[in-house]
Amino acid sequence: MPPRATPVERAVEALRQLPVGDVAAREHVRTVHAALAGAPDDEVLRFLRLLDGLDVDAPRLARSLDAVRAAEDPIDRRAAVARLRRALEPARDHLLRHLAAPPGDLRFVVDLRAALLVFVEKRLDAADLAPLDEDLRAFLAGRVDVGTLELRRLTWSDSAALLERLARLEAVHAVRGWFDLKDRLDDDRRVYAFFHPALPGMPLVFTEVALTDDVPASIRAILNPDAPRVDPAQARCATFYSISNAERGLTGIPFGNALIKHAVEELRAELPRLRTFATLSPLPGFAAWVRARGDAVSADVRAALATPGWHRNATALALVRDSLLRLAARYLLLAKRDDGAPRDAVERFHLGNGAMVERVNWLGDPTQRGIEQSFGVMVNYRYALDRYPANQLAYAEDRRIDASSAVKALLGGDNLDEEREATRVSRGRPVIDALRGAFARVRGFAPRLPSRGPKPKAEVAARKPA
């Protein structure tokens, strides 16, 4: 005798049959939400497996594909393709639309995906759910459209809860207490965030900006609390030095690209004297790439870099400086992934947004993290207002990298082709691979996030002063 269906399973089956928004569906949505709110990890995982099973109807897909192949008349073919498109939609999408509609909300699905990401990362028994994550990401990307986002400048007058979350989620340069956070919100600093009406109260993504006279070469010049203040009305440069995702469940949805450009427009309107918009960015994969080059890096340089505290030793600094700057230029301009894109994730983000590689900065980040991930090297990417639209298209079409003459000069006489580490792929290949993946996968609340051990303490040690 088959096991009796649980209340959640019965609710899911009912929701599959009911149209989205139907009054009768509301009680079933409440059942799912109530069952998963605060549920233990195994219960949330069980629901995710139930969701994963609601995939494409394999027989229907096969019939639709055969109809497309058999159609000879153009009108018949268009109709058959439309049916095929509908057949490719997994049954879970209908359920997700129920769960994201009143009396449910988008928060439920965002938290559900956040839980899934933790499971896939931390639990071996959940590794097979990785393809489900892409479906949830695509669903959320369609619901949280950039056009519906609200840009806001955050200030010290915002709520303590919001500012504490801001400090805790800062992913690039850790906030060292309330005084540090207040400094980042001062007159010559800006923090911009995107908010969504379906996820009220907290930002989806935020970026931090320093108003300066020139493009900074070191993060200490920005985060030094004793640095001279700049009159915002006289500033000539806006430097974006951090961007952080505030919602784990929205990872991989490119809000950051739009955030920078919206912030640029806001700054231009407020401060017309601004002429330069740039970043001071980390180079997180650089140190690992240098170490992986082995004997291609001189033995003296390798030995110096392997010495603890080398960045505080004048002799070691003099020995490795020129070599590391040349290697950084090679890494930025020539080191590629298999798809022809740069190896560095931060570089891919800014180049894909239309920026150019402006300058490589020696010991721009001498913190322990900076030394470990990039030997302290940082990069300025510049958003040239007259060039970034063309740069964005050139990068999307051919992975073309726009770089300043100073960065190119660091390559010296190197052959620009010898380091192209990957074969380029055709522009149509990603689409083909996606379709193959869809066919291959056919098989013929706010839910509580999974426990991850002790939660790290927030960087902010004291409460926000009244």
Domain containing residue 273: CATH number: 3.40.630.150
Residue 140 phi, psi (nearest 5) = -70, -35
Q: Give the tens place of pLDDT for each residue, 8-31.
A: 999 999 999 999 988 889 999 999
Q: Give the tens place of pLDDT for each residue, 78-87.
A: 999 999 999 9
Quickly count: other Cβ atoms within 10 Å of residue 361's Cβ: 22
Q: Regarding predicted confidence, which is higher, 226 or 336?
A: 336
pLDDT at 48 over 60: yes
- 295 with 267, same domain: the answer is no
The helix/strand/coil state of 206 is: strand
Residue 285 phi, psi (nearest 5) = -95, 0
Number of domains present in the structure of the chain: 3
- 160 with 225, same domain: the answer is yes
How far does CA 312 lie from the centroid of its chain? 33
Q: Give the tens place of pLDDT for each residue, 389-428.
A: 999 999 999 999 999 999 999 998 554 444 444 333 333 4
pLDDT at 257 over 60: yes
Buried-state track 144-175, b at ≥16 Cβ within 10 A, e below 16: beeeebeeeebeeebeeeebbbbbebbebbeb
CA angle 356, 359, 364 (to 5 degrees): 130
Distance CA 191, CA 174 (A): 15
Distance CA 294, CA 135 (A): 40
Q: Give the tens place of pLDDT for each residue, 100-111.
A: 986 558 899 999
288 within domain boundaries: yes
Q: How far is CA 81 from CA 62, 72, 91, 261, in A?
A: 12, 12, 19, 37
212 within domain boundaries: yes
Q: Give the tens place of pLDDT for each residue, 54-77.
A: 998 899 999 999 999 999 899 999
β-strand pairing of 276-279 with 237-245: parallel
- Report pTM: 0.82
79 within domain boundaries: no
- 315 with 353, same domain: the answer is yes
Q: Give the tens place of pLDDT for each residue, 337-386.
A: 999 999 999 999 999 999 999 999 999 999 999 999 999 999 999 999 99
- 249 with 303, same domain: the answer is no
Distance CA 420, CA 337 (A): 9
pLDDT of the residue at 453: 47
Domain that holds residue 112: 7-55+90-143
> What is the overall mean pLDDT for the chain?
87
